[in-house]
Amino acid sequence: MTGDGIEAIFLDGPATVRVLQPDEPGYRVAIEVEGESTTAAVATTFDMPLQEHLAGQALWRGRLLIPELRQDAGQPVRLAVDSNLIGVSFKFPEPFAKQPAEPENLGLVFEFPGGERLLVSGKLGANRRFALNYLDGPDGYRLTRGAVRFGGEQPVLASGDGLTVYGNLPELDVSAWLALSETFDTEPAEALFTSGELELAELFALGQELGSSTLSARRDGESWQVDIDSEAIAGSLSIPRNLAVRPQIVAEMQRLHLSSGNPGQLQAVDPRQLPGLSLTAEEFAFGARRLGRVAAEIVPDVLGLRLVSFESSSDSLTAGGTASWLVGAGEARTAAVVSMNSNDVAGALEALDFTPMIEGDFAEVVASVNWSGPPTSNWMENVNGDVSVRVDDGSMLDIQPGGAGRVAGLMSFVALPRRLALDFRDVFSRGFAFDEITGNFLVADGQAYTNDLKLTGPGAEIGVVGRTGLRDRDYEQQAVVTAEPGKILPTVGALLSGPGAAAALLIFTQIFKEPLRGIGQASYCITGSWDEPSVERLSLEQIREGSLCAALPPEGAAAFFADAP
């Protein structure tokens, strides 16, 4: 049987058909077809998933070989199809993204060896190859075994059922594929997948850029066992297959170094849809902050997620606390209660990515804060709550303007040493040592207010009241300094026992209405930005006129200070 120049419509496009005697032994007829079809026609005809991610049309060629009818011919029906796919786009993440103008050679071979089996092998481009085994059944052909290989030769099917994926890729974005999986039913693919191992030049996952990585996964009962090894992250995860019931993912990590990421990435995330997490990490870091060993338990809540326990420890810092990320009345809120202790204050500041502006033998920070929105890196813009600070037996270091970074917001003493070294030469010429720093802060809408920030040293006392802007990174505070601790004021002691911020400012005013005795007392305005603070000494005339530069907390919030220790 032969034929030539046969014209037809196939897959909604024009086709030209030839029928000829093949050269391959065991075959009696070859049918060659050249055609052009749209991706929509192909996807609809063969009921392909993710049809909306395919677009365009392309030329293709096919060759169908029909075997001899003899019992001993031994050849299967064989169909080969190839196309350069010019004109077709793939709207998938890498490694399957493709623009219409890019040539990408597709080669497919279908063999029907009998026994209701269908074997499919092929390649897409030079580095993506696959082998698939189907069985015919009441509902059509069903994939039972498969192998996908990136780079190297054609993969070999395993002896058992299941799908394996392995090889080398230039990049993989796990988050992009997870987002794509939300648009179709992944259960058949998940049920088939058994294992995979990939060597990746670049790995992107959950907002993290991990660089060169090895990623392997295997199905283990009702969970996925995932191993990852990169410069930033190394360890094992056990991920339940049914995440819809919000189980806990178990992560046992050797190292977990997370970048701070984009603050807006979590805005669209609903914590009520996320699973829990049981985490241990021998080395944990977030951005440039190094916390050492970490253990955390995050459990699902009907309103979101709760961090029921958190502990971290390093050579210089220990921390613990609880937190929540909940959605109520359509608004997400984050709350946290945290305590931190250090026996090496400079080392702890450096580990937390702050300039080590203080040296001290002991420090304690306790905070209870909350803010509107998810737990992102810009949380200080609208934070509320309270913070207490204590540092024992240390010294202030002479930091250049701007060098103290975020800690300067709460510890405005950093702005004072240069000024005080001029006004109190006999006291501070030997260094800015202190016995104790204590302070309590009311935080409202990204602003921190204090009426009892106090430094006590062997030769001087400093008290500070007013506001520092955590959101705007600025100061609006007033400081009183005495070189005769415990003798003037009831000095700062009266400030501590005062009923509120207004009373604290009144104490400042009343004290300095008396003539200054030498250099024993002084009052300063601390204003401007954290990077370039301004420290101005008030004159006696300004003080007598009631010049005050400290900002008071918003109305109703001042009651916080009445209970300050």
Sign of the C-alpha dihedral, residues 339, 342, 348, 349? positive
235-248 confidence digits (pLDDT tens): 999 999 888 899 99
pLDDT at residue 513, rounded to an integer: 40
Does the pLDDT of residue 488 top 70, yes or no? no
**Pick from 17-26, 173-182, 323-332, 366-375: least confident:** 173-182
Per-domain residue ranges for the chain? 383-565
pLDDT reported for residue 146: 94
Q: What secondary structure letter does DSSP report for 538?
A: P
- Backbone torsions φ then ψ of 192, nearest 5 degrees: -85, -35
Does residue 527 surpass a pLDDT of 70? yes
pLDDT computed for residue 72 by the predictor: 64
Check residue 189 and give its pLDDT.
77
Is 485 or 226 the better-scoring residue by pLDDT? Answer: 226
**Range from 41-45, 254-258, 366-370, 515-519 carrying the lowest mean pLDDT:** 515-519
Among 55-64, 116-125, 545-554, the minimum mean pLDDT is found in: 545-554
pLDDT reported for residue 499: 43
pLDDT at 174 > cutoff 60: yes
Q: What is the pLDDT of residue 485?
A: 56
Range in 183-192, 248-257, 317-326, 521-530 the model is least confident about: 183-192
Buried b (16+ CB within 10 A) or exposed e, 524-560: bbbbbebeebebeebeeebbeeeebbbbbbeeebbeb
What pLDDT is stored for residue 32 in this prediction?
A: 97
User: Rounded mean pLDDT of 432-455?
Assistant: 87
Q: Does the reported pTM lie above 0.85?
A: no
Read off φ and ψ for residue 128, nearest 5 degrees.
Answer: -125, 110
Nearest to 299 by CA among 318, 320, 271: 271
Counting Cα atoms < 13 Å in the Cβ hemisphere of 463 gives: 24
pLDDT (mean) for 316-321: 96
Per residue in 99-143, pLDDT (tens digit) is: 999 999 999 999 998 878 999 999 999 899 999 999 998 888 889
User: Would you say residue 496 has pLDDT above 50?
Assistant: no
How high is the pLDDT of residue 534?
86
Instruction: Report pLDDT digits (tens) over 272-289.
Output: 999 999 999 999 998 888
What is the predicted pLDDT for the residue at 490? 44
Listing DSSP states for 363-422 in one string gives EEEEEEEEEES-S-TTGGGG-EEEEEEEEEEEEE--PPTTTTGGGGGT-GGGGSHHHHHH
> Please, what is the average pLDDT of the chain?
84
- What is the CB neighbour count within 10 angstroms for residue 429? 8
